[in-house]
């Protein structure tokens, strides 16, 4: 009887959950399909004009990151240490900061999926009901915060609320001031092919992994003039706003991995072989994509797993997020395109399963897109643009994850 009652309740909840969530969220505006745009946008003021352009007193916050992270492929773990400098450009005095811990969406203790009632299917088994009734056992996923201190090393008070973390400041942060803090963390990298999500790993047929590391580090929420702190929970499907800033990131991975990332690499001479470095230099002026890491090199690398380590160093300026990918299975090709006299390196990374499609089209498509969109919108502002084959799609500054592999005989459909 208990199961039947619960089952009926859940089915009824699933039907009405979407409408209830809309009605209970006064900022959603999705309840009225004919609502005019003017009532949704913030009222024009000294910070923003009616045209949408910045007003005379417009401001936005800034956060700079220095991050050192290390990928443990054998144990599928990522650990990191970051120093964050937060600039209060607002006219307000701040007594706390909010950070996003998106990786907590994979934790069954700290996720926010309780809001996602619409995820319940049209049918449900008694086994699934039993699972809902059972007490949750911690699956060990999500961010583990091992240290949080100010610039002098003094511990900071913090509270984790599912996918959000609040840091209580030791002293009020006044307008024009900055606050520096350090945070050490780690988490289990999840299988994005089974668990889902925008970051994680995919295990290929030969046992090697492709890592797509997105939304992987604790990062500042937006604080704005019309909303204050934007600290809504992350449920894995929604979009998100972030603070612009500069990034200095060191990524330590197995020595036979290829890393492609937001930003410009600072140490190709240390992480590439002499032949690869020569091909990278050749790609700077090439008319066609040049394989920096060749198909033959990727085929050789897949047969053994190096126990040595290499650290790739990347820097990015004025970006809102930072993502990267790593695998020994990557073929990597590159060529330049030019926008208003500025060189942008267009690149692609892909496993052999996508070679027949990506080698022919991907980097050329990136170059064409950069030139075309720069003509009809604004000039592309960054030095790099990359397309990564990763069996799903999501975009981040200077790097996007796309899908599209050939069949085993090298053929592919028009849809692919």
Domains of the chain with bracketed CATH: 59-107+142-243 (2.60.40), 255-416 (no CATH)
- pTM: predicted TM-score of the whole model, two decimal places: 0.87
Say which range, 39-48, 137-146, 245-254, 396-405, has the weakest mean pLDDT.
39-48
Tens digit of each residue's pLDDT (9 = 90 or more) over 85-109:
999 999 999 999 999 999 999 888 7
Q: Return contacts of 291-297, CB within 8 angstroms, 24+ apart.
A: 291/331, 291/332, 291/333, 291/359, 292/332, 292/333, 292/334, 292/347, 293/258, 293/330, 293/331, 293/332, 294/331, 295/331, 295/352, 295/355, 295/359, 297/331
Share of the chain above pLDDT 90, in %: 71
Structure confidence by residue, pLDDT tens digits, 76-88: 999 999 999 999 9
């Amino acid at each position: 009887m208990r199961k039947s009652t619960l089952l009926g309740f859940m089915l009824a909840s699933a039907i009405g959950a979407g409408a209830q969530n809309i009605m209970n969220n006064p900022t959603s505006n999705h309840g009225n399909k004919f609502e005019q745009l003017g009532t949704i946008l913030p009222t024009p003021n000294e910070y923003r004009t009616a045209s949408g352009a910045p007003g005379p007193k417009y401001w936005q916050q800034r956060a700079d990151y220095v991050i050192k992270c290390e990928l443990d492929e054998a144990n599928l773990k990522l650990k990191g240490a970051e120093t964050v400098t937060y600039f209060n450009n607002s006219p307000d005095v701040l007594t706390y900061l909010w950070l996003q811990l998106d990786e907590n969406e994979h934790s069954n203790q700290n996720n926010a999926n309780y809001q996602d009632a619409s995820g319940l299917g049209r049918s449900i088994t008694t086994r699934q009901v039993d699972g809902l009734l059972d007490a949750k056992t911690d699956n060990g996923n999500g961010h583990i915060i091992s240290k949080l201190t100010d610039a002098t090393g003094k511990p900071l008070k913090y509270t984790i609320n599912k996918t959000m973390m609040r840091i209580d400041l030791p002293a009020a942060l006044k307008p024009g001031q900055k606050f520096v803090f350090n945070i050490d963390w780690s988490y289990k990298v999840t299988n994005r092919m089974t668990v889902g999500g925008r970051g994680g790993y995919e295990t290929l047929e030969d046992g090697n992994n492709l890592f797509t590391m997105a939304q992987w580090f604790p990062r500042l929420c937006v604080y704005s003039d019309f909303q204050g702190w934007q600290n809504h929970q992350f449920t894995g499907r929604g979009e998100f706003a972030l603070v612009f800033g500069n990034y200095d990131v060191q990524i330590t991975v197995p020595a036979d991995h290829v890393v492609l990332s937001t930003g410009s690499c600072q140490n190709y001479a240390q992480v590439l072989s002499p032949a690869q470095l020569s091909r990278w230099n050749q790609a700077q002026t090439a008319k066609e994509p040049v394989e920096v890491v060749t198909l033959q090199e990727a085929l050789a690398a897949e047969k053994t797993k190096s126990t040595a380590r290499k650290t790739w160093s990347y820097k990015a300026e004025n970006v809102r997020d930072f993502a990267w990918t790593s695998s020994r299975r990557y073929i990597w090709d590159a060529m330049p395109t030019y926008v208003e006299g500025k060189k942008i390196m267009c690149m692609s990374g892909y496993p052999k399963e996508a070679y027949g499609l990506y080698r022919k089209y991907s980097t050329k498509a990136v170059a064409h897109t950069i030139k075309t969109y720069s003509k009809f919108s604004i000039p592309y502002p960054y030095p790099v643009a990359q397309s990564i084959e990763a069996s799903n799609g999501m975009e981040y500054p200077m790097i996007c994850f796309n899908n599209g592999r050939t069949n085993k005989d090298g053929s592919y459909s028009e849809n692919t």
